Structure 1
Amino acid sequence: MTDTPKNATVWIEIPVTDMDKAMQFYEAVTGLPLKRDDTGPNPMAIFQVEDPAEGVAGHLYPGKPAKDGEGPTIHLSAAGSVEDAMERVRAAGGTVISPPIEIPAGRFAYCKDLDGNSIGVFEARG
């Protein structure tokens, strides 16, 4: 491949065991609505982005999450500060794994969702 892509990630899929509960969790944690879509072979809840032609998004789908510590970590934009997002993770029934971690692009914290999927809640540097 000679061309470098605009984004290394083009789509994410997060397996969940209870779509309704997972939608509530991710909407609470990110502070953003998900869009339910039942038109395909499987129901899904799609993360919304400002411009679908430019942004990288993904969805939740009914599936079997990886065993604890064996799946990928998906980092998600979250409204407000990373501390706000961490509190929303706890309030929604998830687990916060790390304190905020500083990186050049901003700050994030490792967490787990209701199914034990590894996620990061991310606050961009402003």
Structure 2
Amino acid sequence: MSFTPDHATVWIEIPVTDLGKSIAFYEAATGGKLDRQQMGPNETAVFQTADPAGGVAGHLYEGKPATQGQGPTIHLAVAGTLEEALERLRKAGGTVLSDAIPIPAGRFAYCQDLDGNSIGLFEHS
């Protein structure tokens, strides 16, 4: 059996300890907006995409983050340059863990959010 979907990732969920503070952090770091909404039993903050019907997105929810830097790494697209995004992340209280790493599709850097979740900030080429 062979399965090749259009997008291997269909949704992400990032657990945070304080939804309001994390919304402000992720909006600052990425330069994008999150839409606060009730989703099932949880209040969430949904990352917005240019195509809400077909874009791959996800949300923040109040939950238990993995031990400092031990969970999966979620890479997020950013507005502007990677350097601008890293500066916004630092000012918002996050931690930059690596220098910029070039790959064919662009550049990214490893970081941690307010709860120690492992994230990558990604600038498309």
TM-score (structure 2 length as normaliser): 0.96
Instruction: Map Cα deviations across residues 62-95 of structure 1 (whole Å, 9 max, x no partner).
Output: 1000012320000000000111111011000000
% identical equivalent positions:
66
- Segments of 5+ residues of structure 1 without an aligned counterpart are none
Following superposition, the deviation at residue 3 of structure 1 comes to 3.1
Alignment correspondent of 2:91: 91
Following superposition, the deviation at residue 54 of structure 1 comes to 1.6
What is the distance in 2 between the residues matched to 1:42 and 1:62? 8
Q: Secondary structure at the match of 2:74?
A: strand
Q: Secondary structure at the match of 1:26?
A: helix
- Segments of 5+ residues of structure 2 without an aligned counterpart are none
Matched, 1:13 2:13: yes
Following superposition, the deviation at residue 39 of structure 1 comes to 5.1
What is the distance in 1 between the residues matched to 2:106 and 2:70? 26
Q: Secondary structure at the match of 1:43?
A: strand
Spell out structure 1 runs of 4+ moving beyond 4 A: none
| Structure 1 vs Structure 2 CA RMSD | 1.0
Decide which moves more: 62-71 or 42-51. 62-71
Q: Secondary structure at the match of 1:38?
A: strand
Decide which moves more: 55-64 or 2-11. 2-11
Trace 1:14-53 onto structure 2 (pairs within 5 A): 14-38=14-38, 40-53=40-53
What is the distance in 2 between the residues matched to 1:69 and 1:17? 15
TM-score (structure 1 length as normaliser): 0.96
Q: Secondary structure at the match of 1:14?
A: strand
The one-letter code matched in structure 1 to 2:81 is: S
Q: Number of residue pairs matched?
A: 125
The one-letter code matched in structure 2 to 1:99 is: D
